[in-house]
Amino acid sequence: MVLVGPMGVGKTTIGRKLSKVLKIPFVDTDSLIVAEHGPIPEIFAKLGEEKFREFEEQALEFALQTPGIVATGGGAVLSARSQVLLKDSTVIYLSTNGRHIGSRLKGGKRPLLKDGVEAWRRIYEERKPVYQMVCDFEVDTSGKSLAATVAEIRELTTPK
């Protein structure tokens, strides 16, 4: 199962929790990239976004080799190659109305968000159609607890 969606929506937190309750492995593509190539802001600054996207494709391909939960970075769905890779997985799009996003984006580790929440909104609007295109299910996280979101994903993905 692959979690996609905008920056700060909670892909990593939700993915970790799902992996715990389902007792299956969890991997985060951002963490794979950092382990192999160093901090994301440095990759953007030194090598550029295009190179980062290449690392991201490789990380997604690697992550998909192990059955389990994969959390992606917000822009992972942009690559045509990644879109093809995602066809063989159950893809959950974690959406949000963005009301509480500001407090979730603190820490300044996201190179694309130097302009803050405004940039986040613009980027999210641009990418929404892509998230919708690649996903099997959309789960709106707005106003929902972690437990409720995880329960909804389980309900949607458990064969009846």
Residues at the contact surface with ligand S3P, assessed by CB under 6 A: 7, 11, 30, 40, 73-75, 110-112
The CA dihedral of 100, 103, 105, 108, to the nearest 10 degrees, is 160
- Please list, residue by residue across 79-93, b when 16 or more beta carbons sit within 10 angstroms of its beta carbon and e when fewer do: beebeebbeebebbb
Of residues 17 and 110, the one with the C-beta less far from ligand S3P: 110
Of residues 115 and 155, the one with the C-beta less far from ligand S3P: 115
Of residues 142 and 155, the one with the C-beta less far from ligand S3P: 142
In angstroms, give the least distance from the CB of 18 to ligand S3P: 16
Q: Which residues pair with 71 in a beta bridge?
A: 3, 28
In angstroms, give the least distance from the CB of 43 to ligand S3P: 9
| Interior angle at CA 125, CA 6 and CA 19, nearest 5 | 20
Chain residue at closest Cβ approach to ligand S3P: 73
Of residues 8 and 153, the one with the C-beta less far from ligand S3P: 8
In angstroms, give the least distance from the CB of 47 to ligand S3P: 13
In angstroms, give the least distance from the CB of 27 to ligand S3P: 13
Residues 88 and 64 sit within 8 Å (Cβ to Cβ): yes
Distance CA 112, CA 144 (A): 26
**140: three-class secondary structure by DSSP:** strand
In angstroms, give the least distance from the CB of 53 to ligand S3P: 8
Of residues 68 and 111, the one with the C-beta less far from ligand S3P: 111
| Number of neighbouring beta carbons within 10 Å of residue 58 | 17
